[in-house]
Structure 1
Amino acid sequence: MTLPTPDRGTTPPTPAQRTARVSASVGFGLQGFFLAVLLTQLPQFKDKYGFDDTTIALVVVMASVVAGGGSVLAEYVATRANSKTALRAGLAVIAVAGLGIALSPSTIPFFVGFAVYGIGLGMVDAGTNMQAVAIQRCYGRSILSSFHAIWSVGAIIGALFVSLCEAVDVSLLVSIALASLVVAGATAAIGPRLLATGPEVEAGLGAGATPLVIPWRPFLALGIAMALFFAIDFSVGNWSALYLKDVLFASSSTAALAVAAYQGAGLISRFTGDHWVRRHGEVAVVRVGAAIAVLGFVVVVFAHSPVVAIVGFLVIGLGAPVIAPLCFSAAGRLAPPEQTDAVIARLNLFNYAGTIIGGGVVGGIAAVTDMRIGFAIPLVFAVGLILLAPAFHPERATEAASEVDHVG
Structure 2
Amino acid sequence: MTLPTPDSGAAPTTPAQRAARVSTAVAFGLQGFFLAVLLTQLPQFKDRFGFDDTTIVIAVVTVSLVAGVGSVLAEYVATRATSKTTLRAGLAVIAVAGIGIGLSNSTALFFAGFAVYGIGLGMVDAAANMQAVAIQHRYGRSILSSFHAVWSIGAIIGALFVSASSALEVSLPVSILVAAVVVAIGTAALGPRLLATGPEVTSSAATPLVIPWRPFLALGAAMALFFAIDFSVGNWSALYLKDLLLASASTAALAVAAYQGAGLVSRLTGDYWVRKYGEIAVVRVGAGIASVGLVVVVFAQSPAMAIAGFLIVGLGAPVVAPLCFSAAGRLAPPEQTDAVIARLNLFNYAGTVIGGGIVGAVADLTNMRIGFAIPLVFAVGLILLAPAFRPARADAAPLSVDHVG
TM-score (normalizing by structure 2): 0.90
Establish whether residue 80 from structure 1 lines up as the match of residue 80 from structure 2.
yes
Quick one: distance in 2 between partners of 1:173 and 1:301? 33
TM alignment of 1:345-384, pairs within 5 A: 345-384=342-381
Amino acid at match of 2:401: V
- Deviation of 1:305 after TM superposition, in Å, equals 5.1
Structure 2 unaligned spans of 5+: 1-7
Residue 397 of structure 2 corresponds to which residue in structure 1? Answer: 403
- Deviation of 1:166 after TM superposition, in Å, equals 4.3
Residue 58 of structure 2 corresponds to which residue in structure 1? Answer: 58
SS in 1 for 2:330: coil
**Aligned in 2, Cα 1:177/1:366: closer, same or farther, shift over 3 Å?**
closer
Render the CA deviation track for 1:47-85: whole Å, top value 9, x for unaligned. 443433332332222111100000000000111111101
Amino acid at match of 1:120: G
Quick one: distance in 2 between partners of 1:258 and 1:406? 41
Render the CA deviation track for 1:241-280: whole Å, top value 9, x for unaligned. 4445666666666555433332221111111111101111
Residues paired across the two proteins, number:
395
Quick one: distance in 2 between partners of 1:369 and 1:173? 32
SS in 2 for 1:397: coil
Quick one: distance in 1 between partners of 2:239 and 2:46? 17
Quick one: distance in 1 between partners of 2:137 and 2:193? 17
TM-score (normalizing by structure 1): 0.89
- Deviation of 1:296 after TM superposition, in Å, equals 2.0
**Aligned in 2, Cα 1:403/1:352: closer, same or farther, shift over 3 Å?**
same
Quick one: distance in 2 between partners of 1:325 and 1:271? 11
Q: Is the 8 A contact 2:40 2:253 kept in 1?
A: no
Out of 313-322 and 107-116, give the one that drifted further: 107-116
Q: Is the 8 A contact 2:58 2:357 kept in 1?
A: no
Establish whether residue 93 from structure 1 lines up as the match of residue 93 from structure 2.
yes
Quick one: distance in 1 between partners of 2:40 and 2:245? 23
- Deviation of 1:177 after TM superposition, in Å, equals 2.8
Quick one: distance in 2 between partners of 1:290 and 1:326? 13
Quick one: distance in 2 between partners of 1:182 and 1:300? 33
SS in 2 for 1:181: helix
Quick one: distance in 2 between partners of 1:291 and 1:360? 24
Quick one: distance in 1 between partners of 2:96 and 2:136? 30
Residue 261 of structure 2 corresponds to which residue in structure 1? Answer: 264
Residue 37 of structure 2 corresponds to which residue in structure 1? Answer: 37
Establish whether residue 222 from structure 1 lines up as the match of residue 219 from structure 2.
yes
RMSD (Å), alpha carbons:
2.4
Quick one: distance in 2 between partners of 1:106 and 1:252? 23
- Deviation of 1:310 after TM superposition, in Å, equals 3.4
Amino acid at match of 2:92: A
Structure 1 unaligned spans of 5+: 1-7
Out of 136-145 and 108-117, give the one that drifted further: 108-117
Q: Is the 8 A contact 1:215 1:405 kept in 2?
A: yes
Quick one: distance in 2 between partners of 1:387 and 1:290? 9
**Aligned in 2, Cα 1:357/1:306: closer, same or farther, shift over 3 Å?**
same
Render the CA deviation track for 1:114-138: whole Å, top value 9, x for unaligned. 1111100100011111111111111
TM alignment of 1:376-395, pairs within 5 A: 376-393=373-390
Q: Is the 8 A contact 2:54 2:364 kept in 1?
A: no
Establish whether residue 327 from structure 1 lines up as the match of residue 321 from structure 2.
no
- Deviation of 1:293 after TM superposition, in Å, equals 1.3
1:281 to 278, 288, 295: 278
- Deviation of 1:105 after TM superposition, in Å, equals 4.3
User: Identity of counterpart residues, as a percentage?
Assistant: 78
Establish whether residue 297 from structure 1 lines up as the match of residue 291 from structure 2.
no
Render the CA deviation track for 1:280-332: whole Å, top value 9, x for unaligned. 11111001111111222233334455544433322211111100111011111
Q: Is the 8 A contact 2:84 2:195 kept in 1?
A: yes
Amino acid at match of 1:385: L
Quick one: distance in 2 between partners of 1:88 and 1:109? 25
Q: Is the 8 A contact 1:199 1:338 kept in 2?
A: no
